[in-house]
Amino acid sequence: MTVTAAAPARVESHLNPPPSYDLADHPAPTGREEVWRFTPLKRLRGLLDGEPSDACLEWDTTLPEGVTLSTVTAEEARALGELGPNERPAALAASLSGGAALLDVPAELECDEPVVIRLSGNTVEDLVWGQLLYRIGAHAKVTIVLVHTGAARYCAISTFVVGDGAQVDIVSVQDWDDDAVHLGRDAIRVGRDARVKHTSVSFGGDLVRLHANVEYDGPGGEAELLGLYFADAGQHLEHRLFADHNAPRTSSNVNYKGALQGQGAHTVWIGNVLIRKEAEGIETYEENRNLVLTDGCQADSVPNLEIETGEIEGAGHASATARFDDEQLFYLQSRGVSVEEARRLVLHGFFADLIRKIGVPFLEEQLTETVEKELAKNMLAAPGEFASALEGSA
Amino acid sequence: MSTLEITDLAVSVSTEDGPKQILKGVTLTIDDGQTHAIMGPNGSGKSTLAYSIAGHPKYEITGGSVTLDGEDVLAMSVDERARAGLFLAMQYPVEVPGVSVANFLRTAKTAIDGEAPKLRTWVKDVNGALDRLNLDSTFSQRSVNEGFSGGEKKRHEIAQLELLDPKVAILDETDSGLDIDALKIVSEGVNRFREREGKGVLLITHYTRILRYITPDVVHVFVDGKVAESGGPELADKLEAEGYESYLPVAR
């Protein structure tokens, strides 16, 4: 099997700007572009200027037996099947990283323990360009967990090349300090009959903008893109998804859920799906739900679906942004539960299904705790805000 | 002992055309251990009475009083009313996605009692209550009311009644939408509750069918936001034979 296939036919759509390593193809954004209009460019702290930097994040890795981590040049990464940048940050990362980390999971290796990569930064003064390439061999089975902590201005391009019949669970946790800036692009190429689950979990950072893109290397591939985010006052958390159905009988299922609380909390969810002419018999569904806990928050949610063939199993999307449901709170309160406890239960329930779906036991408990800590933060810090949120919804 | 006393209760809701008076002076007292049935045509305000007593924010109390054993119910928050001993079995129980029945029941029981129930006896109590209502043990792992059939929702409400053990239960059209088997199961649950010492029940219904299984002490006919007539169980028989027509204004 050759990983680098001929370039797919270009579809004229802002959903998929052509990949290019040439920076001239990705001019610095003004903020008026469709793909940049939600992002507060000033808070990128000059990241898109593209200054060279040697700074690195600290790596702490746990690798199951048989899995190897090495370094390759940027050119080698391309030859190994890296998916090219569709926008400026990824192009900058590819050109300035000085080489890529390569994680290799050999064909048919079934890992019982997850690959855990902990990346931490010391200070937001550090500008870090990252380039990562994950090769998962045919019929391999592995869970890859990335955890980002500390602070940095971090911009990374990551590619997951998933072999035929492989089963891969990817979780990327953004638990940054308050001032961190993180631009990331994860692109996944799903092999024939392979199954990939990619989960983004974003709690921390001042500005986090992540892409999760998926395309297929043959029929029968399945992709599940999950996300969970919790934006506090002043935080900008942006998740951009793209499922490119370029092969028949493939499936994509996108489910992102977020909560927002505090003045200036801003979340953006863009769910793009392209069903190409050759993608007959595919099935896709994307969903985004936001729970707005206080006044002063903004949740932007935009699903886009472009269909070039009607010969499909199904395509749908749903997006909903709401406050706490008064009827749910009434029902719980009518059973003696205090309004604070009722809100905690509803929020817990809002995320519970999604957390269970992630399928990484050691993370599940931690995430449930983190969600409850986030809510407690709000209740302790600003008890009045809930009241005003309720008034606003009445 | 438990006495629910409703005196001259007046309630309005806000509509696009301004406030609309729904309850126009309701007076009734459920004495210790009594079961009262409230029957009436659609739109007469039966459900409004139930939700007003429970404290739903949609309804504005414009007059009158409600006391439970002398305590002012209307001054309490919704959860305080439940902790004081009121329970409302809803006509349309609300879905709470992602919250399991087991978690919900334990949280409610802890809130009502002020302490967590003893784990060993509690699991037995829950399984027993579910079993008596013909709900299997996997039921407690499902999300509250999500994907429940109409009958499952009502049986779940009555399971809560058994477990939370309030002083007074208000059953808002618990019989509607039930087939005869489910109606019997639900009625048996209510009757088990009534056998306990001093429990009051306010049974709101549109149909006389449920009164074949639950015999009330008092029947009230509810028309246009107030009690039009009260009597013994024989009043239900009259309603079954004649309907509500004699209580309604003559159509012009």
Contact flag A337-B107 (C-beta cutoff 8 Å):
yes
- Locate tokens 């974003």: which residue? A202
**Closest-CA residue to B117 (of B127, B130, B107, B128):** B107
Select the residue of A333, A339, A353 nearest B98 (Cβ to Cβ).
A353
In a 3-state reduction of DSSP, which class is residue A62? strand
Contact flag B104-A345 (C-beta cutoff 8 Å):
yes
Interface predicted TM-score (ipTM) = 0.96
Mutate to test the interface with B, among A331, A353, A354 (most CBs of B within 10 A): A331
- Structural domain includes residue B193: yes
Range of the domain at B137: 34-60+75-221+231-242
Q: What's the pLDDT score for residue A249?
A: 97
Whether the predicted pLDDT of B251 surpasses 80: no
3-state secondary structure A86-100: CCHHHHHHHHHCCCE
Residue B81 with chain A: CB contacts under 8 Å: 334
pLDDT above 70 coverage of chain A, percent: 92
The CATH number assigned to the domain holding B171 equals 3.40.50.300
How close does chain A come to B181, measured CA to CA in Å? 26
Whether the predicted pLDDT of A127 surpasses 70: yes
* pLDDT bucket at B244, cuts 50 / 70 / 90: confident
Tokens of A11: 């579809």
Check CB contact of B176 with chain A, cutoff 8 Å.
Answer: no
Residues 37-56 of B with CB under 8 A from A: 54-56
Check CB contact of B127 with chain A, cutoff 8 Å.
Answer: no
Q: Which residue has the higher pLDDT, A13 or A320?
A: A320
- Structural domain includes residue B147: yes
- Structural domain includes residue B46: yes
- Structural domain includes residue B91: yes
pLDDT tens by residue, A366-392: 888 888 888 777 654 443 343 333 333
Whether the predicted pLDDT of A283 surpasses 80: yes
Q: What's the pLDDT score for residue A385?
A: 40
Contact flag A334-B77 (C-beta cutoff 8 Å):
no
Contact between B223 and B206 under an 8 Å Cβ cutoff? The reply is no
Residue B104 with chain A: CB contacts under 8 Å: 332, 335, 345
Whether the predicted pLDDT of A131 surpasses 80: yes
**Mean pLDDT lowest among A16-25, A48-57, B111-120:** A16-25
- Locate tokens 């983004």: which residue? A200
Tokens of A26: 């990705």
3-state secondary structure chain B: CCCEEEEEEEEEEEECCEEEEEEEEEEEEECCCCEEEEECCCCCCHHHHHHHHHCCCCEEEEEEEEEECCEEHHHCCHHHHHHHCEEEECCCCCCEEEEEHHHHHHHHHHHHHCCCCCHHHHHHHHHHHHHHCCCCHHHHHCEECCCCCHHHHHHHHHHHHHHHCCCEEEEECCCCCCCHHHHHHHHHHHHHHHHCCCCEEEEEECCCHHHHCCCCCEEEEEECCEEEEEECCHHHHHHHHHCCHHHCCCCC
- Structural domain includes residue B23: no
Cα→Cα distances B29→A10, A227, B36, B65, B169, Å: 76, 54, 9, 11, 14
For B84, list phi and psi in degrees, rounded to 5: -75, -15
Residue A40: which H helix or E strand, with range? none
- For residue A91, what are the contacts with CB-CB under 8 A and spacing of at least 6? A20, A21, A22, A23, A25, A26, A85, A157
- Structural domain includes residue B121: yes
**Closest-CA residue to A354 (of A201, A162, A137, A164):** A201
pLDDT tens by residue, A337-365: 999 999 999 999 999 889 989 988 888 88
- Structural domain includes residue B248: no
Q: What's the pLDDT score for residue A379?
A: 55
- Structural domain includes residue B226: no
3-state secondary structure A358-380: HCCHHHHHHHHHHHHHHHHHHHH
Select the residue of B54, B97, B98 nearest A334 (Cβ to Cβ).
B54
Give the residue extent of every domain in chain A. 23-324
Residue A357: which H helix or E strand, with range? helix A339-358
DSSP code of residue A110: B
Check CB contact of B238 with chain A, cutoff 8 Å.
Answer: no
- Please give the mean pLDDT across all residues of chain A: 91
Q: What's the pLDDT score for residue A387?
A: 36
Contact between A122 and A152 under an 8 Å Cβ cutoff? The reply is yes
Whether the predicted pLDDT of A7 surpasses 60: no
Q: Which residues are A69's β-sheet partners?
A: A103
Q: What's the pLDDT score for residue B1?
A: 74
Q: Where are the beta strands (DSSP E) in chain A?
A: 58-62, 68-72, 100-105, 115-121, 127-136, 141-150, 153-162, 167-176, 181-190, 195-202, 207-216, 222-231, 236-245, 251-260, 266-275, 283-292, 298-307, 314-322
In a 3-state reduction of DSSP, which class is residue A75? helix
Q: What's the pLDDT score for residue A3?
A: 42
**Distance in angstroms (rounded) separating the CA atoms of residues A218 and A164:** 8
